Amino acid sequence: MLIRQESVDAKGALKDLPAASPLPTANLVLTFSSVKRFSEGKLQSFLKARYPTAQIIGCTTSGEINVNGVFDDSIQITAIMWEKVVQRVAQTKMSGMQNSFETAALLGKQLKADTLKALLVISDGLNVNGSELLKGFQSVLGEIPIIGGLAGDGGAFVKTLQLFNDTVSDGMIIAVGLYGDSLIVSSGALGGWKPYGPPRKITKSEKNIVYEMDGKPALPLYRMYIGEAFSKGLPGTGLKFPLAIIEEGKRDVEKIRTLLAVNANDNSLTFAGNVEEGETVRLCQTNHDRLVEGAGAAAELVMDGLGENKTNQTGLALCVSCVGRKGVMAELVVDEVKQVQQILGAKTSITGFYSYGELAPRPNTSDSVLHNQTMTIGYLSENVLA
């Protein structure tokens, strides 16, 4: 596995990069940037000329991640050349959020094989139900590690864009199947959020829309808990007050849901993933130190998952963190990336983005779920002796 990375800062341009491609034989190129950069129309042709044999995928973000920190309006390019791992890419454009399950199932059928070991997914961030998307993949592929995330648009919640080779568009779902025993994959996902207030039972919901909690209209109850000052800024201020789904028998919070929209007409709350009737939830809050600790704990889970493969080999950590975490940590958001790098070590290259939803297995499992407000890390490497 060879990895080469390039970066253009917010004030730079593609022409500022060296004339020669650092890895012209790359199989896969991951690219993360802003809506402005993706809309310029030059990015896809530049990358295709620079990496002529690669499948090129990417998305817009609410902040780009590399080993040096977190950036806005930059271009992050990661080129990968697999030596033995086989990859196949499938993509499609969504016809509507209500078709999330069916869309993923269709892509899953294109990628299904006995040798499939992991799936990398880049998705539109606003026109998809992430929970249903995962269920669609799992209905066809079973319990395999699915890593990746939902695109962002800088916190504007207006339009996200995805990149697939020559095409930039919204509404796209891109899935990369990785095959063969040579693939090394590990993951970690933890938040660092602390529940507060009494538990509430979801008494009326439809997938990701919550209408009632404890038999009471959801929006007024939510506003009461976050206070008048924060209520004025909804839905944006809701990023600081996600819901934790309290799972029976679990001490740690493994599933968090980010608020995307509010509807004063029916007093509903729309979240980035499903919140099922009968589930118990609590509001969450956090601070900088707890979030950094959560990111570090996610990196430790990656290391634990590597087991005997925990060596000085080359690897790539795809870090997908939530825009809500970035909002809380503000200019100190780089601290969570530094924590991950310190634990994973210098041989691990880092790329990723701040998202509207994160895809990764639950801790210590292959059961992938949609996370919100979580630092997720999908680690990929290759054992050429396998």
DSSP 256-293: EE-EEEEETTTTEEEESS---TT-EEEEEE--HHHHHH
130 and 251, same domain (yes or no):
no
pLDDT of residue 142: 93
- Could you give the number of structural domains in the chain? 2
Integer Cα distance of 11 and 224 in angstroms: 43
Q: Do 378 and 187 touch, CB atoms closer than 8 A?
A: yes
DSSP 357-377: -EEEEPTTSS-EEEESS-EEE
The closest of 270, 309, 298, 308 to 361, measured between CA atoms, is 298
Beta pairing class for 268-271 and 259-263: antiparallel
Instruction: Please report, in tens digits, the pLDDT of each residue of the chain (386 residues total).
Output: 999 999 999 999 999 999 999 999 999 999 999 999 999 888 999 999 999 999 999 999 999 999 999 999 999 999 999 999 999 999 999 888 889 999 999 999 999 999 999 999 999 998 889 989 999 999 999 999 999 999 999 988 899 999 999 999 999 999 999 999 999 999 999 888 888 888 999 999 998 899 999 999 999 999 998 999 999 999 888 888 889 888 776 655 667 888 888 999 999 999 888 899 999 999 888 889 989 999 999 999 999 999 877 767 899 999 999 988 888 888 899 999 999 999 999 899 999 999 999 999 988 788 898 988 889 999 999 987 76
From residue 60, how far is each of 87, 160, 378, 385 by CA, in Å?
Answer: 23, 6, 18, 36
157 and 50, same domain (yes or no):
yes
pLDDT of residue 384: 74
Q: Do 203 and 213 touch, CB atoms closer than 8 A?
A: yes
Could you tell me the residue range of the domain that residue 99 belongs to? 2-190+289-382
161 and 71, same domain (yes or no):
yes
- The residue out of 269, 285, 301 marking a domain boundary is 285
The closest of 375, 370, 373 to 343, measured between CA atoms, is 375
275 and 324, same domain (yes or no):
no
pLDDT of residue 9: 94
- The residue out of 285, 318, 339 marking a domain boundary is 285
pLDDT of residue 92: 96
**How many Å is the Cα radius of gyration of the chain?**
20
249 and 337, same domain (yes or no):
no
